[in-house]
Structure 1
Amino acid sequence: MSTLKDVADRSGVTITTVSRMLNNRGYISAKTKKTIQQAMKELNYQPNEFARSLSKKNSTFIGLIVPSASNMFFSKIIDCTERHAQENGYKLLLCTSNHEEKKEIEYFNMLRANKVAGIILASHTGFLDAQIPDDAPVISFDHTVSAKIPTICSDNYQGGIIAAQYLIKRGCRKLAHISGSAKLNSFANLRYTGFKDVCEKEGIPHIVVDASEEQFISMKYEGTINSLLDNNPETDGIFASNDIIAAKVITACKKRNIRVPEQMKVIGYDDIDLCTLFTPSITTIHQPIEEICSQAVKNVILFCENKIVPTNITLPVTLIERESTK
């Protein structure tokens, strides 16, 4: 692999001159630039963009910390964030923590040490809350770090209301909610609050079962779902806190010869691609992931430009009707 020194030697200039040209510092004649560029091409030299970014006052890198890259929801978060970062002239540094405290803290400290433009925190464990200064360029997704750290989320409470109202409208009389993990300090827990408030107002019997953090990472919800169906055979409508759980519910129902949607109606949350790939297709609460990621990147840029960053942004959700409730 060619080095900066190799380029300098091939060009007949000093390493400092090559560095100045790469970082656009000081005057370099057009002839010298052309010579250096030709040498880089001949040597197939690729500048270390991360190192160059660190040498500048303003970094062109944004850090993203997620609990998982295999989970389809977070895969979409990663994809959308990378695209919006690239469109704005930034590159993404991805860190996956698997909900491990040590990894989250190490990743956060690494990103800070390398002076990234900002950090988008999509993990909800709370491990980093005490580590993050109030003036840090951090944007939190679906989780409150502190009163001064900006957050972005969908309207989780309204999503729960919409799901419960729709299941009742479709004739369900005994409802259940499967929570992603109530132990996590996440706005997503408001989905159950909205769901519960509607059920209590309408006098509809309901239960909630809570999945664990381990299930959130492994996506193995079968035990929780089977226990729910065994202990509550009269349940005829389930609101799952994410689409992966909803898909697992439908699979469990098929194995028990419970027909969806005739005997059991199922609603998910997020509206990931799985919803249209699954049979029956999954009715869900659409979370505006594209807008969330776009706004997160915009907020990082506002930080960099020393402009005011909105402290709390809540984006609306919508019901997407598909086969699992019709």
Structure 2
Amino acid sequence: MITIRQIAQEAGVSKSTVSRYLNDGYVSEETAEKIKLVIEKYNYVPNEFARTLKSDKSNFIGVIIPRIDSPSAMSMLDGINRTAREEGYQILISNTDLAVEREIESIYSLMQNKVAGIILIATEITPQHLEAQEAISVPILFIGQNHADVFSVNHDNYAAGKKLASHLLSFNHQTVTYIGVTENDYSIGVERKRGIRETFQEAGVSVTEVMSTFRTKDNYYLALDLLKKPRSTLYICATDNMAMGFYRAAHELGLMVGKDISLAGFGGYAFSEFLTPPLTTMDFHHELVGETAAFNLFAQIQGRDIARESIIAVTFLKRDSVVDNA
């Protein structure tokens, strides 16, 4: 690829003159025409990121994700990226692999790379997150967690848990196991679980709670142990990704989901309708979450007022993985 130095040499001008032309600075019409002809000859495309580092104005936003293999994060990225392009921005992605300390590092790193704003798909909000927010000079918006001192896009996870449990009660299961995650993740580890537990308990059904991780493989091994001698007829996983591990384990143990055991999840991930049988779940509309987060971040960048917290509604998807136990 041709460089600015080579463009300057072929056009017979200085490197600084080419830089002024590329950055909309003043050059004479005659000089501009010479530079333009060379650029068109070689199909030169300026390095937007390099230009951003030298400029006070950035056309990049940073997006911090918890895992590259997370279906929900990828769907949110789709929504963020689509909205960013409509606004004339590009995204820089930082993956933390579920490490809170890397979330903090990424905030400072993206700031050093002069992004216009940051969207963080957070696993939790710690004092260090709040300290970083105060220390940087660009807006930051959190997805998936809420706090009085931050701007966020989230779901009402307690209400989502209650809504799923209310629908599942009609299937008459009296033995229920909920597979959750660490309570450090307040939205999913505490609120979602509380909505499930309280709704079943109000109906006189006790819920056995088991701790796991978000990773499909971990839940596969967990399910191999839990399903050898199933003590529940209904298993509810905190995410669809976790439920997928249970499908594999059930198949290997000779159990049929939707017949021998019932299984439900949260998320509405695209793959969930292609499992056999399709997974009963709550659709969290993750692309809309991403779009809303990007829209709100750009409003902050432009100095417009937005709500401190935006809540995205969820939808119950009744499928064939839960059978009536009457």
TM-score, normalised to structure 1's length?
0.90
Count of residues in Structure 1 that have an aligned counterpart in Structure 2: 320
- Any idea what SS the aligned residue of 1:253 has? helix
Asked if the contact 2:224/2:253 (under 8 Å) is kept, the reply is no
Q: How does 1:126-137 map to 2 (within 5 A)?
A: 126=125, 128-129=128-129, 130-133=131-134, 136-137=138-139
Partner of 2:227: 229
Partner of 1:264: 261
Structure 1 residue 187, shift from structure 2 partner: 4.9
For residue 244 of structure 1, what is the amino acid of its counterpart? N
Partner of 1:323: 320
Partner of 1:115: 114
Q: How does 1:19-38 map to 2 (within 5 A)?
A: 19-26=19-26, 28-29=28-29, 31-38=30-37
**Equivalent residue in structure 2 for 1:285, among 271, 282, 286:** 282
CA shift in 2, pair 1:323/1:111, >3 Å: same
- Any idea what SS the aligned residue of 1:324 has? coil
For residue 172 of structure 2, what is the amino acid of its counterpart? G
CA shift in 2, pair 1:187/1:101, >3 Å: closer
In 2, distance between residues paired with 1:238 and 1:22?
A: 60
Once superposed, what is the RMSD of the aligned Cα atoms?
2.2
Partner of 2:17: 17
Asked if the contact 1:95/1:107 (under 8 Å) is kept, the reply is yes
Asked if the contact 1:99/1:125 (under 8 Å) is kept, the reply is no
Partner of 1:54: 53
CA shift in 2, pair 1:243/1:15, >3 Å: same
Which digits, 9 at most, give the CA deviation of each residue in 1:210-231, with x for residues without a partner? 114xxx3574212322343357
CA shift in 2, pair 1:57/1:149, >3 Å: same
1:254 paired to 2:236 = no
In 2, distance between residues paired with 1:66 and 1:285?
A: 22
In 2, distance between residues paired with 1:28 and 1:184?
A: 59
1:75 paired to 2:82 = no
For residue 137 of structure 1, what is the amino acid of its counterpart? P
For residue 7 of structure 2, what is the amino acid of its counterpart? V
Partner of 2:185: 184
**Equivalent residue in structure 2 for 1:302, among 299, 303, 317:** 299
Partner of 2:6: 6
Structure 1 residue 50, shift from structure 2 partner: 1.0
Overall identity of the aligned pairs, in %: 25
For residue 197 of structure 2, what is the amino acid of its counterpart? K
- Any idea what SS the aligned residue of 1:310 has? coil
**Equivalent residue in structure 2 for 1:238, among 235, 240, 252:** 235
- Any idea what SS the aligned residue of 1:105 has? helix
In 2, distance between residues paired with 1:218 and 1:235?
A: 20
In 2, distance between residues paired with 1:163 and 1:14?
A: 67
In 2, distance between residues paired with 1:219 and 1:88?
A: 38
Structure 1 residue 172, shift from structure 2 partner: 1.4
Partner of 2:173: 172
1:99 paired to 2:94 = no
Asked if the contact 2:154/2:289 (under 8 Å) is kept, the reply is yes
Structure 1 residue 195, shift from structure 2 partner: 0.5
Partner of 1:147: 148
Asked if the contact 2:111/2:138 (under 8 Å) is kept, the reply is no
In 1, distance between residues paired with 2:232 and 2:81?
A: 41
Structure 1 residue 143, shift from structure 2 partner: 1.6
In 2, distance between residues paired with 1:246 and 1:33?
A: 60
For residue 218 of structure 2, what is the amino acid of its counterpart? K
Asked if the contact 1:64/1:121 (under 8 Å) is kept, the reply is yes
TM-score, normalised to structure 2's length?
0.90
For residue 142 of structure 1, what is the amino acid of its counterpart? G
Which digits, 9 at most, give the CA deviation of each residue in 1:254-290, with x for residues without a partner? 2333332123221111111111221111111000212
In 2, distance between residues paired with 1:25 and 1:230?
A: 72
CA shift in 2, pair 1:136/1:88, >3 Å: closer
In 2, distance between residues paired with 1:136 and 1:85?
A: 16
1:45 paired to 2:44 = yes
Structure 1 residue 183, shift from structure 2 partner: 3.0
